[in-house]
Structure 1
Amino acid sequence: MMFATILQTVLRQVRRHPLYVGLNVFGLALGIGVFLTLTLLVRYEYSFNAALPDVDRLARVDTHWTMPGTPPGEVAGSTFRAMPFLREDFPEIEAGIRFEDTDLQTEREGVFTSFASGLTDPGFFGVFGLKLLHGVPDQALARPDGLVLSERAAIRLFGTTEAMGRTVPINRAGVTVTHTVTGVLARRMTPDFLSDIEMLAPFSSEDVTTRFCFRSWASDCGRIYLKFRRRGDIDAVNARLRDFVIRHAAGAEGDHTAFGVHPEKVYGLSLAKLDEARFRDFHVLYAEDGVDRTVINSIGLMGLLALALACANAVNLATARAGLRAREVAIRKTLGASRRVLFGQFMGEALLVAAIAGVLGLALCEILVPEVASLTGEELVVRYGLVGVVLPLIVLVCGLASGVYPALVLSGYRPAAVLAAARMPSGGRGAARLRDGLVTGQFGIAITIVICMLVINHQTDFMRTADPGYVRDGLLIGSAMPGSDLAAQRRMLDALRAVPGVVTAGFGELAPRPGTKNLGTYSYDGPAGPVNVYLLQDTVGAGYFEVYRPRLLAGRWFDIARGQDDVPSRDDMRTRMANVVVNAGAVSRFGFASPDQAIGKIIRSGGWTTRIIGVIDDVRFESPRQAIYPEIILFDTLAQRPFSEPIPAIRFQGVAEAEMARRLNRAWAGILPDVASDFSSVDARMAAYYSGDERRGRIFTLGAAAALLIACMGLYGLAAFAAARRVHEIGIRKTLGATGRQIVALLLGDFLRPVMVACLLACPVAWVVMRRWLAGFDERIALTPAHFLIAVAGAFAIAILTVLGQTFHLARAEPARALRAE
């Protein structure tokens, strides 16, 4: 009986006041839809790696470097040399494997297809326990030519997941080896760091016996994962890793694969728990899956605020129209209805409206989730198990939050006072202050989100377009050439320089991309004593300066005609001085007052002596969050010695970029037909460094739009209420001589006062939040007043447009008609 009454009352309100009910339902639905969508996104991030079997017992071995002249840093990876010693020293370890990310490729008629892949040990499934759709986990990687495919890779290769026993010719660095499919991974619906892996293959015996990172402590080409017998063992072993490094990384006398005495002063190992890695890795170098916990929490908070705004909007609209039902309440009380019955009815109406809004919000969530997934690049889907639990709670909370105060107000009206009054009650100053406070809160939250959105988008644009220290327009960079074949490297340069449209070409061992780094300690005998600096080392060839065009701050660049500029061979290193160029960061670390003062100075590394002949500005090849390494550059003319896996780069003009890349890839294939090449722009190679912030900036844009829309609905409802309540007042003012312009100014001032207060509250909050966020970047924008002025001006413009119609309607009202209406 009560439900039928509530339903009839709601339907009657829809017929009599469709605007109020529509704004209420749509506002709640929008808040619920945004909240559900962003909750699913936050849950996705917090559940990363959580579904891996025994994840609480899994850890990754990370490396810590504390080198002179550079800040300490943690690297998501470690030398494979440590693996056997870890198993020997720590019985708490149940299993462990080495893992290297790589791109395995298949080739057909000169067309290469890359697969996100990993090289690992046969015990991989003993550590991670992933399920196979086909195959036996313990045997899948036991044979040297074994190959495990994901479902997606199997379908790409064979059109079916029934791929067991089929052969796949795999190209790796120009060498093709035939593998046999020994397993197909079952598809996983939960996110983890292995989700993108399409191929798994075992390390070859040649890898284990010849590669530097299997033999030397000062190396890193992958990661070690350990599975412990109990979760508490991770912390116990972590506390003993310093002694482990002292025992094993020092090495015997004359052992060039170790650090020597006191390795713990520069080198350390630690264990990163995989169930905590998603947010921890944001602060770890070369960790690809890390995200900023603060940003994710902010996205969750934005969803919660959208829901709070929707509830505040519902309260605002409900209190605004409460007076319209005053006579209904008075008559029902006169006929015997108790306050408890009326309170229950009004709460029932609020809950029913919230339930309708919840259904619409779920439909909106279904629309938003695919859009958010495309914005973020995450495999986001609606999880109905979570939604089934959360949505009823949201409906209950929204219904209670939006209904309690209006129900108390409505059920508390006194029949005699209401029926005797000529006008409907407005709720008094308390209700007016509540409505203004709610509008202030709504716009305050919305403006804060808008300011954050503007700053995030500005910083992302800055990262994309900031000067990297070289000219990137007209620059294309290729893949690293495998091996060290001097003749092939010479032919490659000649082939690239001969391509129509190429201005010049050159080699370097570093380029804009994540990759292995060669670093070493150099010392300078300064006036105050020796200064040691850990320098990033790059070797470049003829044409490099013309290709990249770095800014020369002092001295000169290398000259191919000067034999002293050419890097000496290993036999001549201890007897012949080499000329080098350093960057501005190295100049600062060595303590030189200016680049000019560094010219001619001697720096040493071990028994090798070099002279600084030039200083260039800092060149950024890595993330804007990371400080630029102090760098030393050597020169190789390809006269006697080859590069170590050089990266070709070319400068071009007069040709479209896509066509130029096609020509270069064809020229590459003429020299190395068995090796895939991918000449691409700097922007494409650096995109991974800022794409995450860019995607999350779009989420803030979505949240800002939703917050502003909800806030504007609340302001519109307030304006509509005022239009209904202030007709008599406006008539009197116009009768006393007020002009239409004065009326408009008065009404706009009243409507915009909460918006102005909201701006004053939002700006300092946004300033604190964004200042802290920007501190995480090595290069960042200035937090200028423009960001705040744009947001404030936009909020005022939107607010004025929202209430302008109601304002002009009131200002144009004829005094006689307005007074007669009362």
Structure 2
Amino acid sequence: MWRNYLLVGLRALAKSRVYAAINIAGLALGLAACLLILLYVRYEAGYDRWMPGSDRAFQLQTFYSATETGGEEMKLQVSSIVAGRALAKDYPDQVERRVWVRGFSPVVIQDGQASQIEKLRMADGNLFEIMDVPFVRGSAATALPDAHSIALSESEAKRRFGDVDPTGRTLTIVDNNGPVDYRVTAVFKDWPRNSSFSAGAVARFDLEAQFADRRDQLTAWDSQSGWNFYRLRAPADAALIMSRMPAWEKRNIPDYPGGGRRVNPGDYQDYRLVALPDVHLGEAQNSGPTPGNDRATVATFAVIAFLILGMACVNFTNLATARASQRAREVALRKVLGASRGQLIAQFLTEAVLVTAIAMLLALAAVELLLPSFNAFLKADMQLQYLGGDGWLGWIVLLTLVVGLLAGLYPAFYLARFEPAKILKANKSVADAQGSGRLRNALVIGQFAVSIGLIICTAVIDAQTAYARTADAGYVRDGLLQIGNIGYKGVDGRDQQVAEQLRRVPGVVAAARTQIAVDPDNNSISAIYTGPSAGDQVDVGRYGVEPGFFRAMGMKILAGRDFSEGIGRDDATTPYPLDRAAEQAFAQRGANVVVTREAARRLGFANPADAIGKALYASLSLDEFGRVPITIVGVVEDARFRSIRDPLQPIMYNMQRNGFDSLVVRYEGDPAAVREAAERVWKRNIPQVPFAARYADDIVRELYDREAARGQLFAAFAILAVVIGCLGLFGLAAFTAERRTKEIGIRKVLGARTVDIVRLLVWQFSRPVLIANLIAWPVAWWLMRDWLNGFDQRIALTPVPFLIAGGLAMAIAVLTVASHAWHVARTSPVRALRYE
């Protein structure tokens, strides 16, 4: 019986090749898109699940709530050293291992040559006892036996030592204590891309020695400079710890001086233990070892996958019901010869599954061909495995059956209900049977509503990304070169020489060192400032710069003046490490500062000019010296150094002579020539530290690469949705025109022109598109409004993308139908009247 069903199905497909081609192509496109998106969704949801025991590995995260002093809400993956230690100490029965990890890229000296290791992680314990990664040489237990051992990734070991066994070799890392030798003890396999943590190398260091010159960071609850990782004895222990977290915070977090009063970080600071597999799509996306993703975005793509697949199924249903006139007599004759309704339903469902199976084979071929490019585009490592624990074969078979049954279910029941007496007696078709036309119109409306919605989302995402890259950031991006690596121990103060010599390079307009620069790796420094009384307190970012910084950045001074080398009170430099006598002298003398427009506004000044000469007060780390007098001597335009997703930080700049992280260079002329000249200056002064320079335009472009990639994915799926919709529309137009051949002939005999016939057919298929706009517009508006609200600075949601999407969908639908309608309308009435 099933063999007969299969043969009949193949013959039916061979008889209607156009119908078969449209159905198979539409389903193949839908299935290919669905498989690619589901691969991506599974990949994103599967972060860190490759690691044995990942359900027992946890990260301690820090959540800041907005404060009455203007402190911004932040969700950070980093946490303080003291918090990590205190949690492990208070829960010894639950915490099996704890390791604090610092992520940075110091200078590494090998055979006298200086270089850097991308993603070098410094840990105060054996990280591999928490994160179970496979090893090429050595093992997790012996990888980091002491404080001067280092394990390299397989690719880093090959890059540095080739095929030679690197274990036992020495690498010198230049950290806060100067050059320190580390012995290579193991080589681990490269961290998989679907990991919330990754490393090119992991070195174990002595935490106390590392922070010997800044002991305050070991006990400061407000100093988050690394990640605390834990291995719990059981996954359920995390829930126990979290249930006691509020009491733990209250018991452990002490007050500290701020703005002339005692402040407790626990009032606005909370800690959460998050399982490693939940980090990538978790709430905290700032300061992570690797870029995270948004759970809502991944869920959105999953919905899109099924919407596109649903559109392909709609095509099958529409074409099958429209083609009912060609199968009516077949059904009638089968029933007369004894076929039951159940057998007919089984026959048509078999045909639907057969078409889906053929489409699935084509879709799998397309996925195999597209997957390398898809991986390269998303910087992922997705694989389509058919067998094994992660195999897709079972899901593919299930998807084929489900899609085949869903697509063919209604046509099967619809065709099987025909009454043979009515069909054979009248020799008529039932293509216009009651309800079939309405259903097809409803399905077409749904298809185009999805297509229009995706086009709108694509347009809005693209416009917001373009706006983010080109919006006025408060500084001039063009002609700005940013040089890093000036904060390392090996620089030894020679960064000042580099800055002075760069100012004499032809083409260089200005150069200055700074603690803040474009995309500062989530580094945020803030302090609480008050007015003349101890009343209004404001949390303001505080960063050191040297004279000439505003000119180098192209920042506009709105009121007052810039810093000056000739005015002693402008200089806010204090010795580092901490010097109590110098702190006391500075507290008595005070300093001049320059603030941004937003900082002046939050401090209570309506106009920038009103802030000039006004006195403020700040607290130093040593509260015993009281409040430090601060005088505003200048107000500059707000500068957005981070992504426009982050709130604009009000900033107070102070002039200093050390402790900088970057050097910014304003230039005119050939960028390559200026960069080469800057590199020569660097190597002449600091040859042992690698030269690292990037153009501000490149930094900003990379900052929004994820948004751009998301927009391009939406565009690709929108195009695919439109193509699938047009395939179905073309098929419906062809069958509708064929069904109305006689009507068209009569209309032409009675004087209708070809244009009139085309207009009639086009209007029939234009109405569903117009109705689809009424559905798609409010849904897309709601989704895009919510997405845009995630940006601190955003475009206005105007009617333009909605009108463009609606017009584009209408134009595509009209062209799809008109091309076939024109061909039918030009047919001779004689041939049309001979039809049937």
With the length of structure 1 as denominator, give the TM-score of the two structures: 0.93
Cα deviation digits, residues 627-684 of structure 1 (max 9, x gap)? 0111101123xxxxx31034111111111x2343232122111111111121111233
- Go from structure 1 to structure 2 and tell me whether the alpha carbon gap of 1:314 and 1:263 turns closer, same or farther (over 3 Å shift): closer
Change (3 A) 1:689 1:525: same
568 and 146 in structure 1: CA distance in 2 versus 1, 3 angstrom threshold: closer
Determine which of 231, 236, 247 is the counterpart of 2:240. 236
8 Å CA contact 2:26–2:727 kept in 1: the answer is: yes
Give the conservation status (yes or no) of the 8 Å contact 1:547–1:650. Answer: yes
- The unaligned stretches of length 5 or more in structure 1 are 637-641
Secondary structure at the aligned position of 2:831 is classed as helix
Could you say what secondary structure the match of 1:62 adopts?
Answer: strand
CA deviations on 1:60-90 (whole Å, 9 max, x unpaired) are 2223445522233332212213344333222
Higher mean displacement: 688-697 or 556-565: 556-565
- Work out whether 1:721 is the aligned partner of 2:735: yes
SS in 1 for 2:118: strand
Which residue of 1 is the match for residue 643 of structure 2?
623
Deviations 1:18-64 (A, max 9, x none): 11100101111111111111011011111112333333333222234
- Give the Cα–Cα distance (whole angstroms) in 2 for the partners of residues 161 and 723 of structure 1: 73
1:647 aligns with 2:662: yes
Paired position in structure 2 for 1:611: 631
SS in 2 for 1:612: strand
The one-letter code of the counterpart of 1:31 is G
- CA–CA distance in structure 1, aligned partners of residues 742 and 736 of structure 2: 11
> Does residue 93 of structure 2 align to residue 86 of structure 1?
no
Once the two structures are overlaid, the 10-residue window that deviates more, 477-486 or 689-698, is 477-486
Q: What SS does the corresponding residue of 1:665 show, helix, strand or coil?
A: helix
The answer on whether the counterparts of 1:509 and 1:643 sit within 8 Å (CA) in structure 2 is no
Q: Partner of 1:583 in structure 2?
A: 596
The match for 1:220 is 224
CA contact (8 A) 1:444 1:758 kept: yes
Find the counterpart in structure 2 of residue 112 from structure 1. 115
Q: Distance in 2 between matches of 1:324 and 1:161?
A: 73
Q: 1:516 to 1:403 in 2, by over 3 A?
A: closer
Could you tell me how far apart the structure 2 residues matched to 1:730 and 1:85 are? 84
Instruction: Report if aligned partners of 1:505, 1:648 keep a CA contact under 8 Å in 2.
Output: yes
2-structure distance, mates of 1:491, 1:172 = 21
Partner of 1:6: 5
Q: How does 1:494-573 map to 2 (within 5 A)?
A: 494-512=500-518, 513-525=520-532, 530-567=535-572, 569=574, 570=582, 572-573=585-586
In structure 1, distance between residues paired with 2:736 and 2:704: 47
Instruction: Give the alignment partner of residue 740 of structure 1, picking from 754, 766, 781.
Output: 754
Q: Distance in 1 between matches of 2:231 and 2:565?
A: 54
Decide whether the 8 Å contact of 1:315 with 1:403 is kept in 2.
yes
Query: Compared with structure 1, are the counterparts of its residues 311 and 492 closer, same or farther at alpha carbon in structure 2 (3 Å cutoff)?
Result: same
Q: Structure 1 CA distance, aligned partners of 2:661 and 2:367? A: 49
* Letter of the 2:398 counterpart: L
Give the deviation of 1:534 after TM superposition: 1.3
Matched, 1:70 2:71: yes
1:651 maps to amino acid: R
Higher mean alpha-carbon deviation, 686-695 vs 442-451, is at 686-695
- Report matched runs for 1:268-667 at 5 Å: 268-282=270-284, 284=286, 288-384=290-386, 385-482=390-487, 488-512=494-518, 513-525=520-532, 530-567=535-572, 569=574, 570=582, 572-606=585-619, 607-636=627-656, 642-655=657-670, 657-667=671-681
Q: CA deviation at 1:111?
A: 7.0
Q: Residues 26 and 788 (structure 1 numbering): CA distance in 2 closer, same or farther, change over 3 Å?
A: same
Distance in 2 of aligned mates of 1:17 and 1:475: 64
Deviations 1:314-340 (A, max 9, x none): 111111222112222233333333333
Give the count of matched residue pairs.
808
Pick closer, same or farther for the CA change 1:107–1:423 going to 2, 3 Å: farther
CA contact (8 A) 1:463 1:690 kept: yes
Q: Is the 8 A contact 1:533 1:590 kept in 2?
A: yes
Alignment of 1:203-218 (within 5 A): 203-204=205-206, 206-212=209-215, 213-218=217-222
Aligned partner of 1:18 in structure 2 is 17
State the alpha-carbon separation in 2 of the partners of residues 466 and 315 from structure 1: 47
Question: 3-state SS of the aligned residue for 1:128?
Answer: coil
* Alignment of structure 1 residues 768-787 onto 2, 5 Å: 768-787=782-801
Superposition deviation, residue 288 in structure 1: 4.5
Per the TM alignment, residue 173 of structure 1 is displaced from its structure 2 partner at its CA by 7.8
Tell me, yes or no, if structure 1 residue 814 matches structure 2 residue 814: no
- Partners in 2 of 1:574 and 1:600 — Cα distance? 18
Does residue 1:801 correspond to 2:821, yes or no? no
Deviations 1:366-416 (A, max 9, x none): 123222222222222223344212111111111111212222232222333
Q: Distance in 2 between matches of 1:483 and 1:10?
A: 73
**What SS does the aligned partner of 1:140 have?**
coil
Give the match for residue 46 of structure 1: 45
Deviation at 1:260, TM superposition (A): 6.0
Q: Contact 2:61–2:284 at 8 Å: present in 1 too?
A: no
1:624–1:689 CA contact under 8 A, matched in 2 = no
- Secondary structure at the counterpart of residue 695 of structure 1: helix
Shift of the 105–30 alpha-carbon distance from structure 1 to 2, 3 Å rule, reads: farther
Deviation at 1:483, TM superposition (A): 5.2
Q: Please give the alpha-carbon distance, in whole angstroms, between the structure 1 residues aligned to 2:751 and 2:707.
A: 57
Identity value in percent: 35
Q: Structure 1's 646 and 113: CA in aligned 2 closer, same or farther, altered over 3 A?
A: closer
Offset of residue 540 of structure 1: 1.5
Residues 438, 174 of structure 1: CA spacing in aligned structure 2 closer, same or farther, 3 A cutoff? farther
Aligned CA distance change for structure 1 residues 635 and 163 (closer, same or farther; 3 Å): closer
Taking only aligned residues, the RMSD between alpha carbons, in angstroms, comes to 2.6
Distance 1:281 1:408 in 2: 47
Alpha-carbon shift at residue 197 of structure 1 (Å): 1.3
Report the 3-state secondary structure (helix = DSSP H, G, I; strand = E; otherwise coil) of the residue aligned with 1:615.
strand
Q: 2:544 is paired with a residue of what secondary structure?
A: strand
- What is the SS of the residue equivalent to 2:147? coil
Q: What SS does the aligned partner of 1:482 have?
A: coil
Maintained 8 Å contact 1:525/1:531? no
Counterpart amino acid of residue 743 in structure 1: I
Offset of 1:698 from its aligned partner? 1.8
**Pair 1:65–1:409, CA change in 2 (3 A):** closer
Indicate conservation of the 8 Å contact 2:60/2:84, yes or no.
no
Cα distance, 1:687–1:111 mapped onto 2, change above 3 Å:
farther
Distance 1:567 1:104, change over 3 A: closer
Could you tell me which residue of structure 1 aligns to residue 128 of structure 2?
Answer: 125
Note if contact 2:38-2:305 (Cα within 8 Å) is conserved in structure 1.
Answer: yes
Q: Is the counterpart of residue 749 in structure 1 residue 755 in structure 2? A: no
Distance, in Å, in 1 between the alignment partners of 2:636 and 2:284 is: 30
1:442 to partner: Cα distance: 0.7
Structure 2 counterpart of 1:639: none
> What secondary structure sits across from 1:147 in the alignment?
strand
TM value normalised by structure 2: 0.91
Paired position in structure 2 for 1:672: 686
SS at 1:533's partner residue? strand
The CA deviation string for residues 197-249 of structure 1, in whole angstroms up to 9 with x for no partner, is 11111124631433453353332220111222222322322344444444444
Is the 8 Å Cα contact of residues 565 and 580 (structure 1) preserved in structure 2? yes
